[in-house]
Structure 1
């Protein structure tokens, strides 16, 4: 059966290269695709039920040629893309950064606890809760300018605490 596969391949090889060349855009790449197709075709178990071996071989060539075309298009769209990906920083913090961030959060939390209730509420609603100054003013039943001052005071206090602790 292996000899039958080889004979089939050799008989269709020039036609397979002609078939792949327009898909990949180059006869040299078509030769590579046909060679890869032969390797895949020859590895098929002799017991495999392939009713139309020539059609199967053409299908392998077509699929490999299309894969090659996609790969080439991707490389043209982003040359050196693999190298660029390797240089990107990790999306997670390093252990040192994580510890530093945790200590900063703890310092801010302590600073917020030191604030008067109204100042802390104004800050948390506006800066952490995303409420507008007007919404905070309505909630606290004070003027917008007073809310602005409260938020600014809270922020200054938190920054001062951060500087002292770090």
Structure 2
């Protein structure tokens, strides 16, 4: 009589683990990050019900997680680039006419921010004034990083539009 394998899913994972890491590393360009993705894939795979092709499903989970991770990194990079660009804008002038112009612009920006929804203002404030990352803001507000990025971008767009007027 043949004995049943005690943990067939775990054995499947372990037999494909190295190949999954190489696959994820190719997608991400980072072996260390690939390890994290493959571990997360195992956790998700282990929670799922039985499927027709478990090895293929495991590879699909790794692929989707790698794509999601790349997207999050791109979003973070775009926001960091925008921060650098804003920081490089002209320094304030000290003549009275310039001071009056900047005071008017600041007042207009404050009015634009006041018209935004509270959550958008909170995200903007936490990012631009408090210096929190999008991930930290998302955790604090209980929303996704993608939504946090949209809120900060919306506030920045409103500020830019206000200055263009």
TM range (shorter): 0.3 to 0.5
Q: State the structure with more CA Rg.
A: 1
